[in-house]
Amino acid sequence: MPDPSLLPTFEDILAAAERQRGYVRTTPVLTHAAIDAEAGARIFVKAECLQVTGSFKMRGATNRLAQIPPEGRAGGVVAFSSGNHAQGVARAARLFGMPAVIVMPSDAPQVKMDGVRADGGEIVLYDRNRESREEISNRLAAERGAVVVPSYDDRDIIAGQGTAGLEFARQMQADGEALDALICCTGGGGLITGIALAFERLSPDTRIWTAEPEAHDDWARSLEAGVILSNAPGTRSICDAILTPEPGKLTFAIGKRLLAGGLRVSDADVRGAMRLAARHLKIVAEPGGAAALAAAVRRLPDELKGKRIGVLVTGGNVDMADFLKVLLSDD
């Protein structure tokens, strides 16, 4: 178990929300009767795909970079990401007047690389199957005097992402509703564990579930085993945004205590959820961002049928050619 002092608290999430003012937007909660019918439950979709930079990652990046003192900003920041964290860090760095270097896999979607470059970020590519992004990032940071900004296993990142949960719980309270369960797309776990900390205080009866590709289900297996388990190298899915090797040490310490379990979805499930989101909610969901909606409409456990289910659509950064292929397919 990690040192408890390294784990974020609900108070850290409240502080993050204050730091984010003016930098991130409140995202809407969307519903549609056709999606409820498909799922056999009442589905409430928080559309983080409409967040600044197109994903929730702006929340954690803003909270982390805001705490770098002015005298420590000249060297800039280094981050490693398949795309959404990369864009969040690049945007936050530009807003705070800092240079940013982003270590990205060579197979990252072009739309995500374009987003990083549009905010002035420098990209260093690596082979995700043969090279260590952490080693590359640490070397670059040492050479440049930069600060490494992890994508999920960091107290300030988790707290920053947790503001999505703070917001979601308050939105439901304002509507006089309480979620029986919440499903969140899960890679390293920074978002879902931040959300879990917020809901522990504001909606403690809500059970929280991960959603992952069925061939890349490290969180589901880890929660079942009670220890961190990794994915086999080279396992693939269309859900590029959530293909992390294993849960983080900090995130798993929180998740082991607060998460109900893990749900697994196929790539076909995800494509179906992307079409549902576009047709009924009028939003663009990238594959990794649609995994939780896929779990809600295709893989919802019987115990959650008929319940009130919160779903995070976590990102909308998908190449348009790929998105159109999904919309026009029928698998």
**How many residues can be counted in the chain?**
331
End-to-end CA distance of the chain: 43
Could you tell me the residue ranges of all domains in the chain?
4-56+155-328, 58-149
The string of DSSP letters for 277-298 reads IIIII-----TGGGHHHHHHHH
Q: How many CB atoms lie within 10 A of CB 120?
A: 13
Give CA–CA dist 75/118, Å, rounded: 20
Look at residue 246 in the predicted model and tell me its pLDDT.
95
Question: In Å, how far from its chain's centre is CA 113?
Answer: 17
Give CA–CA dist 58/91, Å, rounded: 8
The DSSP H or E segment spanning 111 is helix 110-118
Identical fold at 4-56+155-328 and 58-149? yes
Look at residue 4 in the predicted model and tell me its pLDDT.
83
SS3 for 199?
A: helix
Give CA–CA dist 44/73, Å, rounded: 40
Conformational region of residue 146, where left means phi above 0, alpha means psi within -120 to 50, and beta covers everything else? beta
Look at residue 109 in the predicted model and tell me its pLDDT.
84
Query: Cα-flanking dihedrals φ and ψ of residue 176, to 5°?
Result: 75, 25
Q: 294 and 211 in contact (C-beta within 8 Å)? A: yes
Which structure tokens are listed for 167?
């917001």
Q: CATH assignment of 4-56+155-328?
A: 3.40.50.1100
Look at residue 235 in the predicted model and tell me its pLDDT.
84
Give CA–CA dist 21/26, Å, rounded: 10
Which structure tokens are listed for 33?
């009767």
Look at residue 19 in the predicted model and tell me its pLDDT.
98
Which structure tokens are listed for 293?
């909606």
Q: How many CB atoms lie within 10 A of CB 173?
A: 12
Q: 112 and 83 in contact (C-beta within 8 Å)? A: yes
Look at residue 305 in the predicted model and tell me its pLDDT.
98
CATH, domain 58-149, list 3.40.50.1100, 3.40.50.11540, 1.25.10.10, 2.60.40.10: 3.40.50.1100
Q: pTM to 2 decimals?
A: 0.95
Mean pLDDT by 10 residues, the chain (331 residues): 90 98 98 98 98 97 96 94 90 96 89 92 90 92 95 97 98 98 98 98 98 97 98 89 94 98 98 98 98 98 98 96 94 81
